[in-house]
Structure formats: structure tokens, C-alpha cells
């Protein structure tokens, strides 16, 4: 494995050590040991900036399942490096913040840091993997780690509810995404993302491309909380604030953004890709911003603002994908790539100001005991540093100059205005809706930022509203991380071109490959003043209308729609969950009867139906009597005795007699094996049949009430039909297999074992060779199952119940 591979799995390796550190070094906060890893990884990944800035990539492969085309291939280009730096950089600040936020005296820190490291490693694997199957494995690990972190305070009912919701929705999307990946493999015969991108022009006209695209977008939308799958994110706010700052603002929710950006070279330029991503993104932007205004909890406001901002980035990626339609080196392609530029820049900016805001809210909650804006107020003088952090973060999110949020908001306006001018995909008709909806959403973004700021820090301070005795500023250790993040907000605002050609332009080149001629680069020059253009007028309008709405808040805050905080789509989720539980309960009651014969009936019926469908679908029924051997007279006699013994069983009304007759049938079957020259099967059959008959007779001997019991056999038509169907299909399958192998010249598989048992395994007993060598793994697992069963039996024998175990 290369250094990149070790860097990817390093968080998992450290997660294994965390419980031991927590157990044996209790007097030191576990976070101090964990902090070193993301800092080291951040420094390590920064060294790749010169490589990606020059348009180069780093790729290394470790074989995993090469026969299936599944290899652990790491691939670092501008896009993956951007996410690697976000994951490790924000991760370092979150770990530092959590050291002061979570007490090692009252919290189970070993669980917290194991889950956090597990998530960090999974996110690194998602963004660095070039193989779709490996990416999917890491993708699902992010869902698992996220749900564990959300339910960290598992004694809270809301935490369990939020974890369950996030798991159900994101894993559902992950399964759909796996289906899309499988369809891509069918079209391209490779799981390599690079290989698929190289065949993008070939698969553009493939009929499977649309279902593949829809399934993949389902996975991306559920992970990145796009409408209508966004409902899991607000409930995920029950997680500790460091988790919210890391997973639900900067990293996990951006995994879907990453997937869309990564696969834009494959699907970009298609009208379906353009419309689905753009429309869902812009509507999510509006829905999230309007919903955020209705919230009373600070983290809920930030949750819906995150949904809104994710919709903004998603819409920009969709609109920017249209540039691929115009082809390499055209002015139109460069002109319409402005949306992609805005998406990449806002991706960075959102991580800085939203991470800082989540940490500020965590400080407020930690020091006051509440996040309810109806109780908060007057904290400006009491918590001046937190006030400053929040002011910068909220101003950036609202899009006010001269912060980085203003720059990316202006670029957002530029992107949607240019997209409205597109002469493709029927944008001449519907294109104007994008600037209108984007502007309205921006107004509500300004409004909820204003509400959050003034309701928290201005007004009269009322000590009786707080759960703690003394409200004060947080310790410096808890303030370092948000201070660093809002400092980046200011730095990137005043000096945005620090990132232009080191981070942003390489990421754009990865999202829109082949858009430029050889030697040409994207023009990424970000600056504040563009004159009195439409974008500036839209910003002024946002501020003016936003201020007016805030000043009239007393009127519209009395409306019923404002008083309802819970997203209405949660009703459909809850009802579907209730229906799912009721449906599964009904199916379970029908299926899980507790009777072994019913389970066999279900399994056998399914097998018979499957075989019947196969015979009809592929028309494989055939009988060939040409090569059938003659049947000796004694075989007829043996067969008649066998049939007579079998048919007599249902008419016997004494259990002991029934056991003996069943044993006779087993011994007759051994005679058939002997006639067909299978001595090992004869021995096995005789041993098993003898043991079973003896054990059953002993059981009935020691249970005299059963030994003496007589019963009247009951006729069961269903069992009769199933039995006859099984017999017919086994017979038909045997005849058809024999006929097809002889008529089509197909060599039976038994011939392979005849020819190779001795030469390959040095064994003359072909059955033993098959079991031990050719089916060695299967046999090993069977032995393992028997061993587990034996351990269970031994445990039951050794365990002596007294009847007071539950007292």
C-alpha cells in the first residue's frame, strides 16, 4: 500500500486504539490523542497542491477483487483534494473544539471519537476512491457513522429518532446509487470512474444511461438533503454540536455534492441531468430558506439554512453542466461555466462560515443552557467574542460585503443570470424562473440571518430565562476553532484569489474536463467591484426587502404558517413508517408461524414457482429416451416396495410404527445408492438413518404418553399439492438436464470432476475430493456452523437454570 492508502485508512486504525487510550489514560482528554491525526493528514494533503495546480493527478492502485474489476484505487485531482482538505482541516478544528465541549468526566468519549474517526476515514475514502464499488462501501460507512454520532446521547428519544431517520433515508439512497453504479458497469464494463469518464461519449446514447442517472441522483439527493429528502437533516441536530459542525455543514452533506460534481463529465450536457439537478437544487434553496425563518431553535435555523445552501450549490452544478453541451474551447462553454465556478467557491465559503456558526451556537447552548431564540437576548455584552464570531458568520451567510459570502452570492447571481440566457434545453421559456426564485430565496436567507443575530445578541438580557446560574463567555479553548473559521471568512473575502488557481481552478478542471483547449485554463479572477450591474442591484434589493420583512416581523410572526416549525413533509415520513411497521407485522404474522412445516412449505413453494417460471421463460423442458438404460426386474420390485412404503405413511395411526416405516424408506434409499455404485452415500445414508431411528425410538420410549398415543391422520390438500409439485419438478429437472446435455453436446459438470479429481487434488475418492478441495470453503463454513451449534448445545447443558435468573 502507498502513503495515500495508509492516509485513507489511518482514521480507522486510530479508532481501534481509542478505547485502549480511553481506558488506560483517563486523566487526559482522549481528543488530544485524536487531534494529531487530522492535523497530520491536513499537512500531508496540502503537499499535493502544486501537483493539482499544474493540472497533474496522483493515482495508485492496490488490487482487492481484480477478477471483478474491484480495486482500491486512490485518485487525487483538484476536486478530490479540495474535499480532502475540507475533511481534514475542518476535522482538526472540530476535534479541538470537542475537547472543550465534551467533558471526559461525564461523557463516553471513547464512543464519540471512535465514531468520529470512523466517519472521517469513510469520507476520505469516498472522495479519494476511483472505483465505484469501493466508493459505495465508504459511502455507506458515512451513513452508519453519522447515525451512530446522531444517537450518541442515546438516552434521548429524539436522538434515536433522528439517527433512525437519517439511516433509513440515506441508506435507501445508497442502495439506489449502487443500482446506478451497476448499470454504469453494464454500459462500460468497468467500475473505474476514470474509465467511465473516458467512455462518456459512447454511453451518452445508451438506453440505460437515464435509469443509471436517476438512481445515482437519488443517492446524491438523499445524502445532500435535497428536497424532498431533506427532512432527516433537522432531526440530525440532536447530535452534539461538534458533530453538527463537522458532518452536517462541512462534510457528510457535501458527499452528494461531490458525487454530482465527480460524475458531471459523464452525464453533463444531457438535458435530463441539467433540469433535474437545477430544478431540485433551486427549489431546495427556496424551501430551506423559507423553512429556516419559521424556526425558533438556533440549530434548527442552521439546519434549514444548510439545506438551503446545499440546494444553492447543487443548482449551480446543474446549471454549470450546460457548458459541456457547447464543446471544447468555445466561448459559450467558458461563459456558462461561471455557475460551476460559483459552486466551487461557495462550497469552500459555506464550510467556513457555517462551521463557525455551528460552533458559536454550541457555545451559546453550552454556556446558557438553551438555544431557543424566544429566551435568548442581550448576549452581546456578556459574550463579546461569540457575538463577533456570529456577526461575521451571519453576515457572510447573508451575502454582505466584504466577506467571502458576498463574493460567492454575487457569483451565484451571475451564474443563474447567465443560465437564464441559455439557448438550449428550453431555457428560453423557463430560464427566467431561476433568477427570480434565487433572488426570493436570498431575501429569506437575509431574513433568517437577521432574526438569528438580533434575537440572540440584542435586546434586554433576562437571567431568569437561562438554565445556568451564571452566563459567561466560553473558555478560550472552545473559541479557537470558530475564530480560525471566521478569520478565513474575512481572509477569503479580502483576498479571494488566494484560492483561485491553487484550489478553485483545479477543481473546476476536474468537474468540466475537456472543456478547454490544450494549454488553456479557466479564468478565475474573483474581485468585489464589478460596477453597477444586475448582480449588485439584486443584492441591494435583497437587503432592502429583507430589512423591510424583518421590521414588519410582529405582523407576519402571528401567522399560522410561522408558528408551525416542523416541516410538513415529516408527516408523510411518519405515516410511511407507521405503514411499513404495520405491513411488516402483518407479513411476519403470516410467515412466522413457529411451525417448521410452514417454513418448508413457503420455501418449497417459492422454489417450485421459480423453477416453473424458468422452464416456461427459457423453454428448456425436454425428454430424451434414446440413451436411457434398461431397467432390471429387481429394480422394478425395489421401486414398487419403495413407493408402497412411502404411500403407507399417511395412513398409519401409531407414532412408533410411523418411525419404523420412515426408517425402512431410508434403508431402501440406501439400496438404490448401492445399485448405482455410490458406496460412500450408502454408508452415510445407513449411518444417518440408523441414528435418527434409534434416537426417535429412544425419545418415545422415555415419553410413554406419546408412545401409547394413537392419532387419526388428517388429510391436507395443500401439503399434497406441494409434495406432488416437488416430485414432478425434480423429475422434470433431471430429465431435462440429461436430455439437454446429450442433445446439445453439453459436457456434464461431473465429467470435469472425473478428469481432474486425481490430477488436481491427488484423491481417488471423487466425492471426498469435491467436498474437501473443490468445495473447500463451503465445507469449512458448514463445519463452522456445526461448531457454533455444538457450542450452543454445550452451553445449554452446562447452564443450570434455577428459575431465579430474572429476579
Mean pLDDT (10-residue bins), the chain, 807 residues = 92 92 81 94 95 92 88 94 96 95 82 94 96 96 94 90 94 96 95 94 91 96 94 92 87 93 93 95 96 92 95 95 84 87 95 94 91 90 94 95 93 93 84 93 96 92 78 91 96 92 93 79 83 91 94 81 80 90 89 84 90 85 74 84 87 81 90 84 89 86 62 72 88 81 68 85 83 82 90 83 53
- Asked whether residue 196 is assigned to any structural domain, the reply reads no
Runs of H (alpha helix) within 129-192: 132-150, 157-188
Cβ(243)–Cβ(149) under 8 Å? yes
532 and 615 assigned to the same domain:
no
User: What pLDDT digit, counting tens, does each position of 643-677 carry?
Assistant: 898 888 888 877 788 888 989 999 998 988 888 88
Does an H or E element contain 324, and which?
none
pLDDT at residue 315, as a whole number: 96
* 252/118 Cα distance (integer angstroms): 12
Percent of the chain beyond pLDDT 90?
A: 53
CA distance 545 to 398: 13
Q: Does residue 100 form part of some domain?
A: no
User: CA 578, 582, 588, 590: dihedral to nearest 10 degrees?
Assistant: -160
Question: How far apart, in whole angstroms, are the C-alpha atoms of residue 807 and residue 803?
Answer: 9
Q: Among residues 231, 438, 398, which one has the least CA distance to residue 318?
A: 438
pLDDT at 219: 96
Residues 755 and 780 in one domain: no
> Would you say 394 and 452 are in contact if contact means Cβ atoms under 8 Å apart?
yes
Closest CA to 95 of 31, 18, 26: 31
In this structure, the answer to whether residues 565 and 596 fall within a common structural domain is no
Q: pLDDT value at position 464? A: 79
- Is the torsion defined by CA of 764, 766, 771, 775 positive or negative? positive
- Which phi-psi region, left, alpha or beta, contains residue 578 (left: φ > 0; alpha: ψ -120 to 50)? alpha
Number of compact structural domains in the chain: 3
Residue 752 and residue 795 in one domain? no
Question: Rounded to 5 degrees, what angle do the CA atoms 756, 758, 759 make?
Answer: 65
Candidates 271, 262, 261; CA nearest to 313 is 261
**Is the bond preceding residue 301 a cis peptide, omega within 30 degrees?**
no
- Answer for the pair 178, 138: CB distance below 8 angstroms, yes or no: no
* CB 114 within 8 Å of CB 133: no
Cβ-based burial of 578 (10 A; exposed 0-12, middle 13-18, buried ≥19)? exposed
Q: Is residue 281 part of a domain?
A: yes
- E-strand spans in 41-167? 58-65, 70-76
Query: What span, in angstroms and rounded, lies between the C-alpha atoms of 336 and 316?
Result: 10
Comparing C-alpha atoms, which of 437, 424, 419 is closest to residue 271? 424
Same domain, 604 and 641: yes
- Indicate whether 176 belongs to any domain: no
CA distances from 344 to 152, 218, 524, 701 (A): 32, 22, 11, 80
State whether 697 and 636 are in the same domain.
yes
Whether residue 704 is found in the same domain as residue 717: yes
Say whether both 535 and 670 belong to one domain. Answer: no
Are 547 and 617 found together in one domain? no
For residue 260, tell me if it sits in a domain. Answer: no
Task: Identify the pLDDT of residue 129.
Answer: 95
Distance CA 467, CA 368 (A): 6
Verify that 275 and 410 share a domain, yes or no: yes
State whether 694 and 773 are in the same domain: no
Residue 397 placed within a domain = yes
**619 belongs to a structural domain:** yes
Same domain, 517 and 640: no
What dihedral do alpha carbons 164, 165, 166, 169 form, nearest 10°? 120
Please work out, in degrees rounded to the nearest 5, the angle formed at the alpha carbon of residue 764 by the alpha carbons of 759 and 768. Answer: 105
78 domain-assigned: no
Range of the domain at 511: 268-572
Amino acid at each position: 500500500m502507498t502513503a495515500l492508502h495508509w492516509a485513507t485508512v489511518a482514521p480507522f486504525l486510530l479508532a481501534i486504539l481509542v478505547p485502549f487510550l480511553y481506558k488506560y489514560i483517563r486523566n487526559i482528554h482522549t481528543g488530544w490523542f485524536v487531534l494529531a491525526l487530522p492535523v497530520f493528514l491536513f499537512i500531508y494533503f496540502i503537499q499535493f497542491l502544486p501537483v493539482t495546480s499544474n493540472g497533474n493527478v496522483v493515482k495508485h492502485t492496490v488490487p482487492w477483487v481484480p477478477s471483478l474489476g474491484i480495486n482500491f484505487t486512490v485518485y487525487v485531482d483538484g476536486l478530490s483534494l479540495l474535499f480532502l482538505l475540507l475533511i481534514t482541516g475542518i476535522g482538526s478544528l472540530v476535534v479541538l473544539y470537542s475537547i472543550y465541549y465534551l467533558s471526559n468526566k461525564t461523557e463516553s468519549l471513547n464512543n464519540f471519537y471512535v465514531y468520529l474517526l470512523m466517519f472521517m476515514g469513510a469520507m476520505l475514502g469516498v472522495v479519494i476512491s476511483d472505483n465505484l464499488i469501493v466508493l459505495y462501501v465508504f459511502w455507506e460507512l458515512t451513513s452508519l457513522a453519522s447515525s451512530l454520532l446522531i444517537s450518541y446521547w442515546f438516552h434521548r428519544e429524539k436522538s434515536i429518532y433522528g439517527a433512525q431517520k437519517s439511516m433509513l433515508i440515506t441508506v435507501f439512497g445508497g442502495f439506489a446509487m449502487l443500482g446506478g453504479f451497476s448499470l454504469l458497469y453494464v454500459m462500460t464494463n468497468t467500475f473505474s470512474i476514470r474509465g467511465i469518464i473516458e467512455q462518456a461519449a459512447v454511453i451518452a446514447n445508451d438506453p440505460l444511461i437515464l435509469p443509471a442517472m436517476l438512481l445515482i441522483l437519488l443517492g446524491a439527493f438523499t445524502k445532500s438533503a435535497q428536497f424532498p429528502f431533506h427532512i432527516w437533516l433537522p432531526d440530525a441536530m440532536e447530535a452534539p454540536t461538534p458533530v453538527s459542525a463537522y458532518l452536517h455543514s462541512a462534510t457528510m452533506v457535501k458527499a452528494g455534492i461531490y458525487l454530482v460534481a465527480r460524475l458531471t463529465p459523464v452525464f453533463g450536457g444531457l438535458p435530463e441531468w441539467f433540469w433535474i439537478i437545477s430544478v431540485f437544487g433551486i427549489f431546495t434553496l427556496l424551501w430551506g430558506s423559507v423553512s429556516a425563518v419559521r424556526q425558533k431553535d438556533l440549530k434548527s435555523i442552521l439546519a434549514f439554512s444548510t439545506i438551503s445552501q446545499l440546494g444553492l450549490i447543487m443548482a449551480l452544478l446543474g446549471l454549470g453542466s450546460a457548458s459541456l453541451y457547447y464543446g471544447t474551447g468555445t466561448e459559450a462553454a467558458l461563459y456558462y461555466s461561471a455557475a460551476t465556478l460559483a459552486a466551487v467557491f461557495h462550497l469552500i465559503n459555506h464550510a467556513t462560515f457555517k462551521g463557525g456558526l455551528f460552533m458559536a451556537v454550541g457555545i451559546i447552548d453550552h454556556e446558557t443552557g438553551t438555544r431557543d431564540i424566544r429566551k435568548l437576548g442581550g448576549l452581546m455584552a456578556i459574550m463579546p467574542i461569540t457575538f463577533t464570531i456570529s456577526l461575521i458568520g451571519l453576515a457572510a451567510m447573508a451575502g454582505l460585503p466584504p466577506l467571502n459570502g458576498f463574493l460567492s452570492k454575487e457569483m451565484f447571481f451571475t451564474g443563474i443570470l447567465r443560465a437564464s440566457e441559455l439557448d438550449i434545453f428550453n431555457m428560453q421559456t423557463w430560464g427566467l424562473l431561476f433568477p427570480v426564485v434565487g433572488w426570493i430565496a436570498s431575501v429569506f436567507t437575509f431574513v433568517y440571518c437577521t432574526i438569528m443575530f438580533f434575537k440572540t445578541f440584542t435586546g434586554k438580557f433576562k437571567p431568569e430565562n437561562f438554565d445556568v446560574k451564571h452566563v459567561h463567555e466560553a473558555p478560550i479553548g472552545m473559541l479557537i476553532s470558530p475564530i480560525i473559521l471566521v478569520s478565513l471568512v474575512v481572509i477569503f473575502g479580502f483576498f479571494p484569489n488566494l484560492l483561485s488557481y491553487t484550489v478553485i481552478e483545479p477543481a473546476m478542471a476536474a468537474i468540466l474536463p475537456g472543456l478547454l483547449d490544450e494549454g488553456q485554463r479557466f479564468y478565475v479572477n474573483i474581485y468585489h467591484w464589478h460596477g453597477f450591474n444586475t448582480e449588485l442591484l439584486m443584492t441591494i434589493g435583497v437587503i432592502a426587502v429583507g430589512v423591510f420583512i424583518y421590521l414588519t416581523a410582529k405582523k407576519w410572526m402571528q401567522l399560522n404558517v410561522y408558528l408551525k416549525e416542523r416541516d410538513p413533509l415529516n408527516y408523510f415520513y411518519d405515516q410511511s413508517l407507521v405503514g411499513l411497521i404495520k405491513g411488516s407485522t402483518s407479513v411476519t404474522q403470516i410467515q412466522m408461524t413457529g411451525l417448521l412445516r410452514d417454513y418448508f412449505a413457503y420455501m418449497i413453494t417459492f422454489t417450485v414457482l421459480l423453477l416453473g417460471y424458468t422452464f416456461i421463460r427459457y423453454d428448456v423442458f425436454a425428454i430424451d429416451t434414446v440413451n436411457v438404460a434398461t431397467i432390471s426386474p429387481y429394480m422394478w420390485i425395489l421401486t414398487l416396495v419403495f413407493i408402497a412404503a412411502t404411500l403407507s405413511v399417511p395412513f398409519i395411526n401409531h407414532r412408533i410404527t410411523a418411525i419404523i416405516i420412515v426408517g425402512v424408506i431410508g434403508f431402501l434409499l440406501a439400496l438404490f445408492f448401492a445399485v448405482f455404485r455410490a458406496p460412500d452415500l450408502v454408508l452415510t445414508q445407513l449411518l444417518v438413518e440408523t441414528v435418527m431411528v434409534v434416537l426417535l425410538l429412544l425419545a418415545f420410549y422415555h415419553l410413554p404418553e406419546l408412545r401409547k398415543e394413537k392419532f387419526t391422520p388428517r388429510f391436507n390438500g395443500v401439503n399434497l399439492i406441494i409434495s406432488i409439485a416437488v416430485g414432478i419438478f425434480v423429475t422434470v429437472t433431471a430429465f431435462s438436464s440429461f436430455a439437454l446435455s446429450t442433445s446439445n453436446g453439453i459436457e456434464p459438470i461431473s465429467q470435469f470432476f472425473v478428469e481432474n479429481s486425481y490430477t488436481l487434488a491427488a484423491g481417488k475418492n471423487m466425492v471426498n475430493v469435491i467436498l474437501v478441495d473443490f468445495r473447500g470453503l463451503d465445507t469449512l463454513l458448514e463445519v463452522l456452523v456445526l461448531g457454533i451449534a455444538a457450542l450452543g448445545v454445550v452451553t445449554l447443558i452446562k447452564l443450570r437454570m434455577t428459575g431465579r435468573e430474572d429476579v
